Chain A
Amino acid sequence: MDEDAVDVARASDGDLNAFERLVAKHQKRMLNAAFRLVGDYDEACEVVQDAFVAAHRNLKTFRGDAKFTTWLTTITLNLSRNRLKQLRSRRGHIAFSLDEPIRTENGDLAMDPPSKEPSVLDRLEQRDVQARVQDCVKALEPDFREVLVLRDLQEFSYEEIGDMLKVAAGTVKSRLFRARESVKDCLKRFMGEL
């Protein structure tokens, strides 16, 4: 049985304390998922807040077929996708610095067009492994990044990932294979060897 079932049932009946316990318990995991998917801490915080509000609003539609965390992660995942699209359309084709984003006074990223200086990937060599791994994840296409984050960082099963992304298990496997291979190649490029 889902360990959150009791609090979910109480929250669904209007118990805000029960819902607050769920928030306290899962917010960090949701924030990390959102952060890996969106790639921006502040945006990820916004996504998580929206995700919990949306979850509370739709608690009555949660039937308990899946675990609460799976359902909540699906909401976070969808909101992250939307946020990512908004960010991309807002920024258009302007290139931003991936490794060292610079904030302007109004909070937007400062423009950082490609230069003839060492590339973003070259500059990655100057940073520690953690940062490099994060940047390699960030460089993945969204479809592959989602699977990688859900499997290797969030540790969901293939079946759960398939349900969340609404794709077949075979698709999950192939995407995961390509995502891992891409990250491996990325890391090898900057670290020489793993």
Chain B
Amino acid sequence: MDHNDARHKLSDYIDNAVMEHERIAIEEHLKTCAICADALVELRKTIDQLKQIEEVETPPWMTMKIMAQVRADTKKKTWAERLFQPLQIKLPIQAIAVVFLAIGAFYMYKNIQPASLPSEVGTQDFAAERTAPLGQAKKDQLAKTYDTAPRAQQAPQAPQAPEYKALDMKQEYEKPAPPKPTEAPVFAKKESAYAPPAPQAAAPSLLREQAGISAGSAARSAAKNKAAESYAADSVAANAITGGSAANNRQLPPNITAEMENIQRLLAYFADHDLPADMKRTGLKLSPEPVRDNLAGIAWLDDVTKKQLVACKNAYRIKAELNDKKQLYFYCIEEAAILLLDKYELINGNWSGMR
């Protein structure tokens, strides 16, 4: 064993923590190495000094204080055990609490979600109204996109023609809601999704639900709200094209509000007076829209109706479809009256008047 090895093993040698052959080698080295022999002596003295260090005494209060803490800790532990143990009780309680929280969060989300829609619809409608007329195909395509937005309590619907909005008249007529006389003016502004104070207006789906309860006529309410939805979809489509933003919080101008009131009144009238009985029993798709000055799209109209439409200040048409049978209703709305100008049906690709 060389000097360094022996030197480093002196500490272990003192403690008898070396192998037998190491002990013999160290002792052999110590006989010839004065440095290591001196180091061994010094190391032993050092250890002796360390062992002679006087022990410190514990303070007289230590046992009492420790036991007081132990007793306090035991009481605390007992309470904790009562509350949270065994785990067979604790874990199910936690699981149930989590489930309740999740359900609560879901319903909060569901209730809050529709309330955010009206203001968007209102501003988007305005933006749509301010833009140039769009191609119907483009509008319908974008309206479909809008229709994918979540709508609470939306009834399942059969596949529809792209240019019409479905209205399940049968379901509405079989279970009419009790009339509420106090809410007789069913086309009041507050029910309109297009009313200027957007934050107070309800979402289309919510409107339908409210109308079902308050309207004097279920069909009237449904038609009215369906029209609002249809119109909103087109408006959203237009807004999407023009880059209009829902964050644009401008108020709707009076003429837009008036127009929507007109459509609501018109649909209410349509449901009460001109809706055929078979349409009331079966599924009906309809969409209302104002007739603008440009009549090129309806050149097949007869002269009398054309003149009436041009002369009319607020002219509207309702496209109705039942079992692939398409009909058009033209109305003129004056301040207090709604006048049916003419109605047409599509037979073998040609429109002809229904008198």
Using a CB–CB cutoff of 8 Å, the interface residues on chain A facing chain B are 14, 16, 19-20, 23-24, 27-28, 31-32, 35, 41, 44-45, 48-49, 52-53, 56-57, 129-130, 133-134, 137, 148, 151-153, 158, 173-174, 176-177, 180-181, 183-184, 187-188, 194
Contacts and interface: CB of A to CB of B under 8 A. Distances in A.
A75 to B, nearest CB: 13
Given A130-B52, A158-B15, A158-B17, A53 B58 contact: no
Nearest to A152: B50
**Interface of B, helix, strand, loop or mixed by DSSP:** helix
Contacts of B73: 53, 56-57
Contacts of A148: 50
B95 interface: no
A176 B50 contact: no
Interface of B: 8, 10-12, 15, 17, 41-43, 45-47, 49-59, 62-63, 65-67, 69-71, 73-74, 77
A24 B61 CA distance: 11
B56 A180 contact: no
Given A133-B50, A181-B11, 8 more contacts: A16-B70, A27-B63, A28-B57, A31-B58, A56-B74, A130-B52, A134-B53, A184-B46
Given A52-B70, A53-B70, A153-B53, A183 B46 contact: yes
Nearest to A55: B70
Given A16-B70, A52-B70, A53-B70, A45 B50 contact: no
Contact of A130 (B53, B62, B65, B74): B53
B47 to A, nearest CB: 6
B63 A188 contact: no
A35 B46 CA distance: 20
Contacts of A130: 52-54
B53 to A, nearest CB: 6
Contact of B56 (A16, A32, A184): A32
Contacts, number: 102
A67 B71 CA distance: 24
Contacts of A52: 66, 69-70
Residue of B41, B46, B51 contacting most chain A CB atoms (<10 Å): B46
A49 B69 contact: yes
A183 B48 CA distance: 12
Contacts of A53: 66, 69-70, 73
B87 to A, nearest CB: 16
A52 to B, nearest CB: 5
Contacts of A174: 8
Contacts of A23: 63, 66-67
Contact of A56 (B47, B57, B70): B70
Given A180-B11, A180-B47, A27 B53 contact: no
B349 to A, nearest CB: 89
A153 B15 contact: no
A177 B51 CA distance: 16
A49 B50 contact: no
A28 to B, nearest CB: 5
B77 to A, nearest CB: 7
Contacts of B43: 180-181, 184
A153 B53 CA distance: 8
A69 B15 CA distance: 21
Residue of B62, B71, B77 contacting most chain A CB atoms (<10 Å): B62
Nearest to A132: B49
22 contacts: A16-B70, A19-B70, A23-B66, A24-B63, A45-B59, A49-B62, A49-B65, A56-B70, A129-B49, A133-B53, A134-B53, A153-B51, A158-B17, A173-B12, A173-B17, A174-B8, A177-B10, A177-B11, A180-B43, A188-B42, A194-B41, A194-B42
